[in-house]
A and B are shown apart, each in its own frame.
Chain A
Amino acid sequence: ETGVTQTPRHLVMGMTNKKSLKCEQHLGHNAMYWYKQSAKKPLELMFVYSLEERVENNSVPSRFSPECPNSSHLFLHLHTLQPEDSALYLCASSQDYRGGADTQYFGPGTRLTVL
């Protein structure tokens, strides 16, 4: 799927590192999402941005810090992570934020390993 890109595709970091995940959508959408998918678990919604404003924050620890500088870009800043934060982090976008009725377009994900 080239509509939503994520970088890096793989990331290994120590617990004291600071890193950022980047997501870019080329679809002209107004809403962007971060999801976490741990091994053999369902996708967990982390954050939702609509028109660059955060509209959902699903009790995510403060060591995850999102940033949405414009409607095409979304970042997830990581610091002092724990090994249990190792997972596939997925970014998605939709035309607008209308909850479950919107079609979401997902990126390929960033596979994060915390040592």
Chain B
Amino acid sequence: LAKTTQPISMDSYEGQEVNITCSHNNIATNDYITWYQQFPSQGPRFIIQGYKTKVTNEVASLFIPADRKSSTLSLPRVSLSDTAVYYCLVGDRGGADGLTFGKGTHLIIQP
């Protein structure tokens, strides 16, 4: 079971780039890394998924170093509406291990 560790909370300001790092030291060869965003009283929303190197989509980038023991979610030019909890999940295609959400990182964006 690949356990993940994230900061409990982070603060930033509108217009800044925010980087949230997730540690997963015992990640397995077949594991993928997935990030979700959750607003209060709503279901989580998929942000991005990656296996290695860098992945970019319209809302975020995901950086994964060669050893894959950590990953960094990068949110460019955040706004107040990016205030949410961000979860890092690590798991493979074989079972429910990757469905453990953990406590996530509470990101607070200030004006």
A residues in contact (CB < 8 Å) with B:
1, 4, 33, 42-43, 45, 48, 56, 58, 88, 90-92, 98-109, 111
- Interchain CB contact (< 8 A) of A43 among B31, B90, B101: B101
State how many residues of chain B have any CB contact under 8 Å with chain A.
27
- Interchain CB contact (< 8 A) of B43 among A58, A90, A101: A90
Please report the C-alpha to C-alpha distance between residue A88 and residue B49 in the assembled complex, in whole angstroms: 25
Known: A42-B101, A104-B44, A106-B44. 7 other contacts (CB 8 A): A1-B45, A33-B99, A45-B100, A88-B41, A100-B91, A101-B93, A108-B42
Chain B residues with CB under 8 Å of A48's CB are 96, 99
Q: B41 to A100, Cβ gap below 8 A? A: no
Q: B89 to A109, Cβ gap below 8 A? A: no
Chain B residue at minimal CB-CB distance from A109: B43
